[in-house]
């Protein structure tokens, strides 16, 4: 029986590692064989700060995760996050110089690497390339230029990149742990894979993953990526807001945030909560004061994101469906509070298309499951661009030849 494609996928953040071992069941259907989450951190501000320590944490985690699914594999797929992730648009053109005047796969690769050189600085590593459009000759837009007669080929790309050194440090930690990185997936791209439908991307959607220290935002319209950004605002800012408003420790504020969220109880003035202060004393406060502080922090985070989007001429009230995912979407009444405050329709985004236990159909698993899905089902943007074994390489060359000349 043919072996099903399988991947160990990780979502590494500053505060946790979540992982799954997943198998591609059929087109678009993924089964999760095992999953795990640890609060051990191996990043700071999205970066590896100690390769040896990070390697040890990753090794321990992956070993346990794979053991649970009775599998073992040296290859893994991993997310990339951090403020230095950026989307750039670039374009390039080449002349079709072969005697037959037909666009070959070598021409496609050449024009794309030209566009990479034009659009991405040398200190950055390309994580994702999406073709916005191809045009041939005098601006005739085509979907697939391969084997077409043409004198000139142009391409417009959307390229997601991060700093090469940061990415290499993560790769190094993973290889020290004894694993090899098969795929690197930018957080917002992973989220889009697990949460969005093709229709969302066609109609226009703003997907926000509000996590712990960061929020990842990605915007699609007409099936094209319009915007991608990671900002340093997240659930921890809401916890800080509760902590400073009520004068309690960060840990206790986190507990209050998870327990009470943003649900308001103005009609029930008797809802009182006993607060334990850091000095060991107790005081009773109205529950609304907790949810007011939580809502205030949440509105500040959302307002920050909204301003960032406006800088890029993306107006939430117009033309976009808004989907909220990430751990913050679990906060009690957060979506309702945002809808009322900003007069917007917002829905919660959870992973779809997976055969998983209910626990994983939750917004805080969007990134991890998206990394798995991207790695398992997404074809490379240039056919056969992934590293291949020798026999496959020969078959690929033969296929290229047949495609280009017949």
Residue 319 zone, left/alpha/beta (φ > 0; ψ -120 to 50; rest): left
Q: Which of 254, 264, 306, 370 binds ligand ATP (CB under 6 A)?
A: 254
Sorted by sequence, the CB contacts under 8 Å of residue 392 that are 6+ apart come out as: none
Provide the pairing of β-strand 6-12 with 17-26: antiparallel
Contact region for ligand ATP (CB under 6 A) — 140-148, 149-157, 274-282, 325-333?
325-333
Give CA–CA dist 292/44, Å, rounded: 30
Q: How far apart are the C-alpha atoms of 328 and 215, rounded to whole Å?
A: 10
**Ranges within 182-211 binding Mg ion (CB under 5 A):** 211
Residue with Cβ nearer Mg ion (154 or 329) = 329
Q: For the window 346-375, what string marks contact with Mg ion as x by the rule CB under 5 A?
A: ---------------------x--------
Binding flag, residue 243, ligand ATP (CB under 6 A): no
Binding partner selected for residue 257 from ligand ATP, Mg ion, none, CB under the kind-specific 5 to 8 Å limit: ligand ATP
Strand arrangement of the beta sheet that strand 354-355 belongs to: 180-186, 75-80, 6-12, 17-26, 29-38, 354-355
Should residue 211 be labelled a site residue for ligand ATP when binding is judged by CB under 6 A?
A: yes
The span from the CA of 139 to the CA of 394, in Å, is: 35
Structure tokens at 115: 């566009």
Among 66, 161, 169, 364, binds ligand ATP (CB under 6 A): 364
Q: What is the DSSP letter of 349?
A: -
Half-sphere exposure of residue 101: CA atoms within 13 angstroms, side-chain side? 5
**Applying CB under 5 A, does 46 fall inside the site for Mg ion?**
no
Binding at 194: pick from ligand ATP, Mg ion, none (beta carbon under 5-8 Å per type): none
- What is the DSSP annotation of 44-67? BTTB-S-HHHHHHHHHHHHHHHHH
- Under the criterion CB under 6 A, does residue 261 sit at the interface with ligand ATP? yes
Q: Which of these ranges, 108-116, 120-128, 231-239, 377-385, lies near ligand ATP under the rule CB under 6 A? A: 231-239
Tell me which of ligand ATP, Mg ion, none is bound by residue 236, counting a contact when its beta carbon lies within the kind-specific cut-off of 5 to 8 angstroms: ligand ATP
Exactly one of 6, 7, 16, 233 binds ligand ATP (CB under 6 A); that residue is 16
- Contact segment (CB under 6 A) with ligand ATP among 132-140, 144-152, 154-162, 328-336 equals 328-336
Q: Which ranges in 128-261 belong to alpha helices (H)?
A: 164-176, 187-195, 198-203, 235-246, 250-260
Applying CB under 6 A, the span of 14-22, 53-61, 112-120, 157-165 interacting with ligand ATP comes to 14-22
Q: What is the radius of gyration, based on Cα positions, of the chain?
A: 24
User: What are the residues binding Mg ion (CB under 5 A)?
Assistant: 13, 211, 367
User: What are the residues binding ligand ATP (CB under 6 A)?
Assistant: 13-16, 81, 211-214, 234-236, 254, 257-258, 261, 326-328, 330-331, 364
């Amino acid at each position: 029986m043919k072996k099903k494609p399988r991947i160990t996928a990780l979502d590494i953040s500053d505060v946790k590692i979540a992982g799954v071992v997943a198998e591609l069941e059929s087109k678009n259907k993924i089964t999760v064989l095992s999953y795990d989450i640890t609060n051990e951190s191996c990043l700071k501000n999205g970066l590896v700060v100690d390769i040896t320590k990070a390697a040890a944490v990753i090794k321990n985690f992956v070993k346990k995760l794979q053991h649970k699914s009775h599998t073992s594999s040296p290859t893994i797929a991993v997310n990339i996050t951090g403020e230095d992730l950026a989307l750039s648009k670039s374009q390039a053109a080449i002349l079709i110089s072969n005697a037959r005047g037909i666009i070959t796969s070598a021409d496609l690769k050449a024009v794309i690497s030209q566009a990479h050189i034009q659009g991405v600085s040398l200190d950055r590593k390309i994580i994702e390339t999406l073709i916005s459009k191809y045009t041939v000759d005098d601006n005739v837009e085509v979907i697939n230029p391969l084997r077409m007669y043409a004198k000139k080929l142009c391409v417009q790309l959307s390229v997601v990149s991060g700093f090469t050194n940061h990415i290499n440090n993560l790769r190094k930690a993973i290889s020290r742990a004894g694993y090899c990185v098969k795929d690197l997936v930018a957080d917002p791209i992973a989220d889009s894979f697990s949460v969005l439908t093709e229709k969302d991307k066609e109609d226009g959607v703003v997907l926000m993953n509000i996590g712990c220290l960061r929020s990842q935002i990605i915007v699609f319209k007409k099936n094209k990526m319009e915007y991608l950004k990671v900002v340093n605002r997240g659930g921890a800012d809401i916890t800080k807001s509760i902590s400073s408003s009520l004068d309690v420790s960060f840990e206790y504020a986190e507990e209050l945030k998870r327990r009470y969220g943003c649900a308001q109880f103005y009609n029930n003035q008797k809802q009182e909560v006993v607060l334990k202060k850091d000095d060991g004393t107790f005081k009773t406060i109205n529950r609304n004061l907790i949810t007011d502080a939580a809502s205030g922090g949440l509105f500040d985070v959302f307002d920050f994101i909204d301003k960032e989007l406006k800088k890029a001429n993306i107006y939430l009230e117009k033309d976009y469906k808004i989907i909220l995912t990430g751990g913050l979407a679990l906060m009690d009444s957060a979506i309702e509070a945002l809808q009322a405050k900003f007069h917007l329709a917002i829905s919660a985004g959870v992973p779809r298309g997976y055969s998983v236990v209910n626990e994983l159909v939750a917004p805080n698993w969007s990134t991890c499951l998206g990394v798995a899905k991207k790695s398992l089902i997404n074809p490379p943007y240039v056919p056969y661009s992934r590293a291949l074994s020798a026999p496959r390489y020969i078959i690929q060359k033969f296929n290229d030849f047949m495609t280009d000349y017949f």
